[in-house]
């Protein structure tokens, strides 16, 4: 297989043992003589995978018993509407820190109209920072944040204190750093950045925040339906859940969340240090809000015309996926849990060589 350094933003690099285990299960699921996509999701063997996956989540994030853990199809984007359907009665508060946050807010607005309020936004400077100094309305049903802004490379590094249930889209930083789950009412995300492949979303919800809305809503959008049915109200996406299971086993083998966090800090520091040192490049996010997962940078003043040349050079060096999102431009290196340190070191070296050849 050709060796590349995969910096894709999602779908993205996954732990190779998880891919290998996925291939084995596709061929023969745990010695059943059938592929994982051929078995009954009601079989004992599959139920064991569901239970094991939930147990891994609970262990790795230290999730208390009054929280339920769900695995549902539809990705993070379906959660943008499931959250207001389940929680919005009189007011929903949102922090707008990027395109994903904006999309989540839009769904609350569609359902609740003026009941959806934007508490603060960083749109004024193209989402290069995380707003601070705002007040979370104490009469809101919940406060929604996006902890890591995948496109802009900013991140909320602390667990906020919220007077109302805190709802967090953690699609792109879950399992990358320790979080105190008890600070949140609900955490959700698509699996395809840090915990597996597209096709499944994770939801961690404190059960007592549910069942408070008076308006009727569709059965399949009700978290309680999925809680009652152990995430198998309808046929679960078995293969994505299996890959999630294997990815979490890998996280555990790395020393759990503290283990991967330590490596993530080192990887991000190596790349940000080079961005700050190398006169050809400059970071786009405000330093205090820099993401550990998505590292955004552009050509420095005077070197703007070199952008295409650097992209080509990086490609020659085996770098994949470093072109920035169209709304930011420049470059973005996504360095999720499974991105090896060697890939970051190779990118740093590539930037240094490009500097030598172009100064």
Ligand X SMILES: *Cc1c(COP(=O)(O)O)cnc(C)c1O
Catalytic residues: 100, 169, 193
Pairing of strands 166-169, 142-146: parallel
> Phi and psi at residue 284, in whole multiples of 5°?
-100, -30
237 makes contact with ligand X (CB under 6 A) = no
Q: Is 169 in the site for ligand X (CB under 6 A)?
A: yes
Contacts with ligand X, 266-305, as mask; x by CB under 6 A: ----------------------------------------
- Contact between 240 and ligand X (CB under 6 A)? no
The first and second tokens of residue 46, run together, are: 């599959």
Task: Give the one residue of 75, 236, 237, 256 binding ligand X; rule: CB under 6 A.
Answer: 75
Q: Which residue of 190, 237, 240, 256 would you call a contact of ligand X, by CB under 6 A?
A: 190
**What does residue 166 show for φ and ψ, rounded to 5 degrees?**
-90, 125
**Residue number, 292 or 351, with CB nearest to ligand X:** 292
- Near ligand X by CB under 6 A: residue from 76, 145, 164, 248: 76
Q: What minimum distance in Å lies between the beta carbon of 167 and ligand X?
A: 13
CB of 285 to ligand X, least distance (A): 15
Q: How far is the CB of 40 from ligand X (least distance, A)?
A: 26
Q: Does the protein bind ligand X through residue 95 (CB under 6 A)?
A: no
**C-beta neighbour count of 339 within 10 angstroms:** 23
C-alpha count within 13 angstroms, C-beta hemisphere, residue 85:
14
* Shortest separation between residue 169's beta carbon and ligand X, angstroms: 5
Dihedral angle over CA of 94, 98, 103, 109, nearest 10: 30
| Residue number with CB closer to ligand X (162 or 291) | 291
Residues in binding contact with ligand X, number by CB under 6 A: 11
**For residues 77 and 300, which CB has a smaller minimum distance to ligand X in the complex?**
77
Q: Write the burial class of residue 111 (CB in 10 Å: 0-12 exposed, 13-18 middle, 19+ buried).
A: middle
**Helix ranges (DSSP H) in the chain:** 16-27, 44-61, 75-87, 99-112, 223-228, 238-253, 256-277, 307-316, 341-358
Which residues lie closer than 8 Å to 302 by C-beta, 6 or more apart?
Answer: none
Cα distance from N-terminal residue to C-terminal residue, the chain? 35
Per CB under 6 A, 176 contacts ligand X: no
CB-based contact 242:47 (threshold 8 Å): no
- Binding to ligand X by residue 77, rule CB under 6 A? yes
Residues 172, 190: contact at Cβ < 8 Å?
Answer: no
Q: Indicate whether 97 belongs to the interface with ligand X (CB under 6 A).
A: no
| Burial annotation 215-231 (CB, 10 A radius, 16+ → b, else e) | eeeeeebbbeebbeeeb
Q: What mask, x for binding ligand X by CB under 6 A, covers residues 107 to 146?
A: ---------------------------------------x
Q: Which of residues 6-45 bind ligand X (CB under 6 A)?
A: 10
Binding footprint of ligand X on the chain (CB under 6 A): 10, 75-77, 100, 146, 150, 169, 171-172, 190
């Amino acid at each position: 297989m050709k060796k590349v350094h995969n910096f894709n933003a999602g779908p993205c690099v996954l732990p190779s043992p998880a891919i290998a285990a996925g291939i084995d299960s596709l061929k023969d699921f745990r010695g059943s003589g059938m592929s994982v996509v051929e078995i009954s999701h009601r079989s004992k063997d599959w139920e064991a995978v569901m239970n094991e996956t939930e147990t891994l989540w609970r262990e790795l994030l230290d999730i208390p018993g009054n929280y339920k853990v769900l695995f549902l199809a539809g990705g993070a984007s379906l959660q943008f509407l499931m959250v207001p359907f389940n929680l919005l009665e009189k007011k929903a508060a949102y922090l707008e820190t990027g395109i994903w946050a904006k999309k989540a807010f839009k769904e609350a607005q569609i359902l609740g109209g003026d009941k959806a309020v934007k508490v603060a936004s960083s749109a004024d400077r193209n989402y290069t920072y995380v707003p601070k100094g705002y007040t979370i309305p104490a009469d809101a049903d919940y406060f929604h944040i996006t902890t890591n802004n995948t496109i802009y490379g900013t991140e909320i590094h602390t667990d906020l204190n919220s007077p109302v249930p805190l709802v967090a889209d953690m699609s792109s930083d879950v399992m990358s750093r320790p979080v105190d789950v008890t600070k949140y009412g609900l955490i959700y995300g698509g699996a395809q950045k840090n915990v597996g492949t597209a096709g499944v979303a994770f939801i961690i919800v404190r059960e007592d925040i549910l069942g408070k809305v008076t308006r009727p809503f569709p059965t399949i959008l009700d978290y309680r339906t999925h809680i009652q049915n152990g995430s198998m109200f309808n046929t679960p996406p078995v293969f994505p859940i299996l890959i999630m299971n294997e990815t979490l086993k890998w996280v555990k083998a790395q020393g759990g969340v503290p283990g991967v966090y330590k490596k993530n800090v080192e990887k991000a520091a190596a790349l940000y240090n080079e961005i700050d040192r190398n006169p050809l490049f400059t970071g786009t996010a405000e330093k205090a809000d820099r993401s550990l997962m998505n590292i955004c940078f552009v050509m420095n003043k005077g070197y703007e015309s070199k952008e295409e040349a650097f992209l080509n050079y990086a490609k020659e060096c085996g770098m994949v996926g470093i072109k920035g999102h169209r709304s930011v431009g420049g470059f973005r290196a996504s360095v999720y849990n499974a991105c090896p340190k060697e890939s970051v070191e190779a990118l740093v070296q590539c930037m240094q060589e490009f500097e030598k050849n172009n100064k």
